Amino acid sequence: CSASTNKPVLTLFTKKPCPLCDEAKEVLEPYKRRFILQEVDITLPENTAWYDKYKYDIPVFHLNGRFLMKHRVNIQKFEDQLRKLELQSE
């Protein structure tokens, strides 16, 4: 099925522990078949640039490499952007 390769990638910038990140993942659970979730642990040595940028803002979400939202999930914004990407890939 080629549709799966066209799924948008939602990148979650996170660290452990991150209760807000856990909460965000729960909110996104109903949508999980429509995107690929990629988690980036900003505390890892290879992610220092992200750590410097987002250490006070996690969770931070990028959709297909572009900044989408931070702190809390804005479902309306997420759905709008996801739908836009899905329409583009059809």
Question: 41-86, pLDDT tens digit by residue?
Answer: 999 999 999 999 999 999 999 999 999 999 999 999 999 999 999 9
- Three-state DSSP state, 90: coil
pLDDT at 89: 83
In angstroms, the CA 19 to CA 81 distance is 25
Answer for the pair 8, 36: CB distance below 8 angstroms, yes or no. yes
Can you give the pTM of this predicted structure? 0.91
CB atoms within 10 A of CB 80: 11
- Tell me, which fold does domain 9-88 have in CATH? Glutaredoxin (3.40.30)
| CB-CB neighbours of 9 under 10 Å | 13
Token pair, residue 74, equals 């804005």
Q: Which residues pair with 66 in a beta bridge?
A: 63
